[in-house]
Homo-oligomer: A and B are copies of this chain.
Amino acid sequence: MSKEIPYKIYLEENEMPKSWYNLRADMKKKPAPLLNPGTHQPMTAEELSVVFCDELVKQELDNDTRFYEIPEEIRNFYKMYRPAPLVRAYCLEKKLGTPAHIYYKFEGNNTSGSHKLNSAIAQAYYAKKQGLKGVTTETGAGQWGTALSMACSYFDLDCKVFMVKVSYEQKPFRREVMRTYGASVTPSPSETTEVGKKILAEHPGTTGSLGCAISEAVEVAVGTPGYRYVLGSVLNQVLLHQSVIGLETKAALDKYGIKADVVIGCAGGGSNLGGLIAPFMGEKLRGEADYRIIAVEPASCPSLTRGVYAYDFCDTGMVCPLAKMYTLGSDFIPAPNHAGGLRYHGMSSILSELYDQGLMEARSVKQTDVFEAAEMFARVEGILPAPESSHAIRAAIDEALKCKETGEEKNIVFGLTGTGYFDMVAYEKFHDGKMDDYIPTDEELAKFRARLPKVD
């Protein structure tokens, strides 16, 4: 007889994960290494340590160690906002009339409003431990910048954020949250860097892009003694830290004897998806259990479903290493009407490799369908979801409706990465019928693809 499942499963503090899980250790074919953009040779630890903290370089390159103990200082910080609840979506199930059981792992119960804090605190910790003065980063909508500001404030590190100019101007509240945590926030492109000046000279009046902000942040980190650059997604190290999401999810399910059938996550750079699925994919790789795993991306930025698996630049400025990934091309930028986040042109190398091996599915969803799902979810489950997270909601609802047709009582688990409190402009567009569903044509995608770097 199984225990009655509560609305929210909270782990006790002593049940929280004490180690991160490195999925790469269980991959027979490992993800492709980062390459030096000049020589096309694998990046060495020495080369990477100019940009990243030493310990993070180690984590980035380590394909073998299965578990990394989470340092106590980080576990203490986690206790401030974790464990995140695993919520049984009883009200959504009822609304849909589905026999499926829907669960979501809610990562929005912290001021950064998303899962990004899980890696931010780890990266800040290692920077502090190395005796650094500060870190630099970029942020688009501001979730990552907020998370990093919080983490740096906790460890008394300086934090320099380059914020895509259009967001800096349109999202002043995110900027103020970062300032509350003591970060300096510079609109990008800026006159404070060489690459910024160059871009401004070439494109006066540009409102910036994520790729451009990355280039500025890297330049400042490399050029300022005592500073390193940190990134909130895509990298192996980030997926390692985010495995805490999946480990908690799995522990909560196991506590009630629930076996997931489908695991669903939204996918931009891959940090949430990679973290959520880690222990499930691990069992799959080891042949211990099987799960359907679904990556959900926006139809306007469809790297997995319509990109190619190739080496590409991680940034527009082409100063970063090359990563092998499903990519749309490093100068691809989603249409300006796209409000749903998940705008990165590529996808984490780990996830790209797993997808290429057929170990997970991917689907793209249209923007208005995403916001319809978001609004339905908000009304019945109470939480106003981030547009990013709502991609996963859309897919979870679609899977639950399939179960309604077939009568299957499947366990559907999805990641609710964050809240949409700073995304009300997008919701307003949706309410006012001003949102549309632009999808890039094959010709457009081919144009960006033609500019991929040539790597033998």
Contacts and interface: CB of A to CB of B under 8 A. Distances in A.
A8 interface: yes
Given A111-B419, A172-B428, A7 B79 contact: yes
A244 to B, nearest CB: 16
**A interface, by DSSP: helix, strand, loop or mixed?**
helix
Number of copies: 2
A431 B91 contact: no
Contact of A424 (B110, B172, B181): B172
A173 interface: yes
Interface string A118-160: 0000000000000000000000000000000010011000000
Chain A residues touching B, range: 35 or more
Contact of A111 (B79, B80, B383): B383
Contacts of A79: 6-8
A378 interface: yes
Contacts of A110: 382-383
Interface string A375-389: 100111111100000
A427 interface: yes
A448 interface: no
B111 A180 contact: no
Given A111-B384, A154-B379, 12 more contacts: A6-B12, A7-B80, A80-B381, A80-B382, A111-B383, A111-B421, A154-B380, A172-B428, A176-B425, A176-B428, A177-B421, A182-B379
Interface of A: 6-8, 10, 12-13, 76-77, 79-81, 90-91, 109-111, 113, 150, 153-154, 172-173, 176-177, 179-182, 375, 378-384, 419, 421-422, 424-425, 427-428, 431
8 contacts: A77-B382, A80-B381, A150-B382, A172-B428, A177-B427, A179-B428, A180-B427, A421-B422
